[in-house]
Chain A
Amino acid sequence: MFRTKRRAVVLVAAVITGALLVVVLVAGWATSGKRDVTDVNGNPNAVLYTAGHRPLAPDFTATTLTGSRLSFSSYRGRVVVVNFWGSWCVPCREEAAALAVAAQQYAPAGVAFLGVDVRDTTASAEAFARTFDITYPSVSDSGAQITLDFTAVVPIAGTPTTLVIDRTGHIAGAVFGQATYAELNTILGQVDGKAAAR
């Protein structure tokens, strides 16, 4: 009696373990391998979202550093580069020049640049803009509300983060971290379809 009972216990344990193993394998297979993004220039933190898999950018209204109200929906119909930055952030300072140049070069094509200034104050932010010749506007997001809204659709993990939004208001490309000029160029080229104006 005891022998067969032990065998029964062992059999049950083996079946349960096998079932768990199958579940784990299936779950691992199912969650791996997203086919809806491609890396830019080999950098896993710079991605392009394939058409049909682009998350919708949330709308927001905020105050610019100069004090005027700005509504994000007013940018619908244009390609917008949204850059999350702060004057305290060293990589932001490193990529500022690239963003400034790209903004000027893509302006004739109608591409807009918009900064979202996080955890900062007006005086420091304005000084930053002066230092790096940033001519495009920035909105203040000291309470991280805009960041929170965007984090719901794309995994914003830190500052800086640059998002490229297409004409329909969907996020087509993103750089999670410091953006290089080359990456911005590649993404904008894909999204806009037109090469950078010389």
Chain B
Amino acid sequence: MTDVRAPEAATTEPRLPGGPARGAQGLADWLKWGWRQLTSMRIALVLLFLLALGTVPGSMLPQEGADPAGVQQYYTSHPALAPLLNHLGLFNVFAAPWFAAIYLLLFASLVGCVVPRTFRLAGSARTLPPRAPRHLARLPHSAEYGTTLAPDRAVEVAAAVLSGHGFRLRRPDDPADAWVSAEKGYLREVGNLLFHLALLGVLVSVALGGLFGYKADRLLVQGDTFANTASALDEIHLGRLATDADLGPFTITLNRFTASYITSGAQRGQPASFDAQVTYAARPGGPSRTDSIEVNRPLSVDGTKVYLIGHGYAPVFRVTDARGQVVYDSPTPFIAGTTGNFLSDGVVKVPGAQPEQLGFTGVFVPTWVDVAGTLQSAFPAAENPAVSLIAYAGNLGMNSGAPQSVYELDTAGMHRLTAEPKLLLPGQSLKLPGGQGTITFTGYVPWVSLAITHDPGQVPALACGIAALGGLLLSFLVRRRRIFVRARAGGPTSTVQVGGLARTDASGSFEAEFASLAAELRSAHSQHEK
């Protein structure tokens, strides 16, 4: 398809990809050549492929950010391969330097392409459409018909019609010539540039969020309150440029958590809904409000969002030591294991017991059944709760050394007190041998785990995403096209030739538009003949 190129629209593709032109081998020339290569479509294509390819290992291998336990497992199952992969950064692909290099190069290429084109677009808005070619019949779309109007009159009518359709017109310099040139569709390039710049905006927003935002976790037992401060959070990940002072000073109390499950049918045991009723205050002394946090419905406090991520059961234990003192009386969060139906594991540490410290490992079952001697959970709701405990006495290892996990018991310095795990129903007690004390399972309360996130780049990223979509639609829907009309005198009738050219129309939809425009011009001419 012949394509009449205006000089301002040509995209420069280097003729010699092997290097800059002969006779100009200085560093500046090499840099210029390198820059031209980087901003060429071919390299952009290669970079896009590399981006797609580089993303693949990030989805196939466990990544440190999302699944650190999986990474550990990979090390144990592939001891020779794992360190090599780690060296290549494949366990943290999206933060790896080589991945950053790919998308930074891609964006450099993008910027290097977009900025000159923006200048060109601004320039083309000032220049007129090109002159009408001599032989309109050679254009991909053309029409020809006769009219009794004089050539210049015919051109006037045509110009009026085209102008009515929003085309920009160009008239001949020489008044003797009878043609008009019309062009339309500059918005396409605007949309194109907007799309690419918006992508850059998304990248910047993501970076901003990562730098200035934070993510934190907190496990909260029903009835408890917590304040959003570094020492009260279980885990906190600050962005590079964020500090503890950026944590919004709100407090949340978990009043009540309810989970409902499907009780019958093929999906029995599947969760139906979760609901955490909370009271919160945005700042100390500020007004407190109540709200409910559900899945898909986070709580928004002063630009920070609090999400309900998980939940579980915290059985309540009361421990009396050998001296008869109540040394422990608290709900103890147990964590659900992988066996299902919220069969949960947990640990009770009683460092205050005298004369020996006490520790218990336990299993909490919300609806217990005995399956051939093993304890199983039949349903995730606490319809028939029970707890099974093994007791230890000795040194918990808490008086010195490294901080311990609250969910693990180090029995190295302890001796086992009970030979068999003991099952306790709510209200029942286990009397420890040797007069070491008693532990009573008094009941249970639910707990929730909350994720607190603050991402200042979130809203800008969304805005840029929407802008990108808008630019995309604009660049696809609008076509840059030109219509030329020439009128030649030929005896009693003039011959009107209409030619059409769509510059960026690889999709072929200009045909219908040209056909209807040609028909409209013809009918306009025949109307003016009357």
Contacts and interface: CB of A to CB of B under 8 A. Distances in A.
A148 B326 contact: no
Nearest to B319: A123
Interface in A80-110: 84, 87-91, 93-94
Nearest to B352: A127
Interface residues of B, number: 41
Given A93-B351, A155-B245, A148 B284 contact: yes
A148 B229 contact: yes
B328 interface: yes
Contacts of A131: 351-352, 354
B400 A94 contact: yes
Contacts of A157: 230-231, 244
B327 interface: yes
A63 interface: no
A90 B402 contact: yes
B249 A152 contact: yes
B101 interface: no
B227 interface: yes
Interface in A101-150: 118-119, 121-124, 126-128, 130-131, 142-145, 147-149
A156 B253 contact: no
A143 B251 contact: yes
A148 B115 contact: no
A134 to B, nearest CB: 12
Contacts of B227: 143-145, 147-148
B349 A127 contact: no
A59 to B, nearest CB: 12
Interface in A159-187: 159, 161
Contacts of A93: 351, 398-400
A130 B325 contact: yes
B232 interface: yes
B329 interface: yes
A128 B354 CA distance: 11
A54 B314 CA distance: 42
A9 interface: yes
Contacts of A144: 225-227, 229, 231-232, 251
A123 B330 contact: yes
B352 A87 contact: yes
A118 B398 CA distance: 17
A17 interface: no
A190 interface: no
Given A127-B325, A127-B328, A147 B352 contact: no
A10 to B, nearest CB: 11
A90 B400 contact: yes
A118 B230 CA distance: 13
Contacts of B326: 123
A35 interface: no
A67 interface: no
Contacts of A143: 224-227, 251, 253
Contacts of A126: 325, 327, 352
B401 A158 contact: no
A128 B351 contact: yes
Contacts of B350: 124, 127
Contacts of B349: 88
A84 B232 CA distance: 11
Given A90-B401, A143-B224, A151-B231, A127 B284 contact: no
A98 to B, nearest CB: 13
B224 A128 contact: no
A5 interface: yes
Contacts of A130: 325, 352, 354
A9 B112 CA distance: 11
A93 B406 CA distance: 15
B328 A124 contact: yes
Which one of B119, B226, B245, B321 has the highest number of Cβ atoms from chain A below 10 Å of its Cβ?
A: B226
23 contacts: A9-B115, A90-B403, A93-B400, A118-B232, A121-B328, A121-B329, A122-B329, A123-B330, A123-B352, A124-B329, A124-B351, A126-B352, A127-B321, A127-B327, A127-B353, A130-B325, A131-B354, A143-B225, A148-B228, A155-B244, A156-B230, A157-B231, A157-B244
Interface of B: 115, 119, 224-232, 243-245, 249, 251, 253, 284, 318-319, 321, 325-330, 349-354, 398-404, 406
Across the A-B interface, the 3 shortest Cβ-Cβ residue pairs: A127-B352, A143-B225, A148-B227
Given A94-B399, A144-B225, A148-B228, 12 more contacts: A88-B406, A90-B401, A118-B232, A119-B232, A123-B318, A123-B328, A127-B321, A128-B352, A131-B354, A143-B225, A145-B251, A148-B227
